[in-house]
A and B are shown apart, each in its own frame.
Chain A
Amino acid sequence: MNFELSKDPIQVQAVIDKVVAREAGAITTFIGTVREFTKGKKTLFLIYEAYESMAVKKLEQIGKEIEERWPDTKIAITHRVGKLGITDVAVVIAVSTPHRNDAYEANRYAIERIKEIVPIWKKEHWEDGEKWIGNQLETVGYPTGKPEEEDLNG
């Protein structure tokens, strides 16, 4: 269960423990947290919703992509769903590799891919309203109706 969604607060160390390996010389951990202000607008809390079965499959796909690009890598990703407050942990990505450079690069790759292909959505709740967020730029949609083929298949 290296790739999962959690309705409960994520135990960061438990995610890291999954990638501990004798051949590893580095573990990088990315912790995504809920930010209070975005472009001056104050967030009160977030709701994360997922298409859970597909989201787990897509996290597994990201894991496979990483193993192909960076040999001898171990990856674990847990993404939170449900209601999160400011500073709560939304996602934890742990990557171990024999050498540190790969651990940084592979971890960065994982978070960028999550933002492209994993069906998880956040609804921001502000003092004056709420909105499902389309993507990080708050622009809407894919012109062709889906990400381009190269986006999905790496």
Chain B
Amino acid sequence: MVKVLFFAHLKDEAGQEEISIEGNGFTVAQVKDKIAADLGIATLDSVMTAVNEEFANDETIVSEGDTVAFIPPVSGG
């Protein structure tokens, strides 16, 4: 199981803070495709991804127990 977290406008679009995905050995790009299809979120191409709290890219492999977070452009400070 892979935990997926949403923040800011993505949380509003997803209608939830987190979901779980069954499986193992996906790339981040595949996770994005699955979420785009399942939840109808079209803007994942323009956000960053973190895997286990470190920035990742589309080729990063996601394994059982990992946490994937989609990080819209940040606006702290």
Q: A121-B8, A145-B58 are known contacts. Are A51 and B48 too (CB-CB below 8 A)?
A: no
- In contact, B75 and A152 (Cβ under 8 angstroms): no
Q: Which of A7-15, A17-25, A95-103, A112-120 is near enough to bind chain B?
A: A112-120
**Per-residue CB proximity of B62-77 to A under 8 Å, as 1/0?**
0000000101111111
Distance in angstroms between the alpha carbons of A146 and B50 in the assembled complex: 9
In the assembled complex, B34 has its CB within 8 A of some CB on chain A? no
- In contact, B73 and A142 (Cβ under 8 angstroms): yes
Q: A51-B7, A53-B53, A132-B8 are known contacts. Are A122 and B76 too (CB-CB below 8 A)?
A: yes
Total interface residues in chain B, CB < 8 Å: 25
CB distance from B8 to the nearest CB of A (A): 4
For chain A, the bracket of interface size reads 35 or more
CB distance from B71 to the nearest CB of A (A): 5
Q: Which residues does B use to contact A, with CB under 8 Å?
A: 5, 7-9, 12, 43, 45-50, 53, 55-58, 69, 71-77
Q: Which residues does A use to contact B, with CB under 8 Å?
A: 32, 48-51, 53-55, 57, 79, 90-91, 111, 114-123, 132-136, 140-142, 145-147, 152
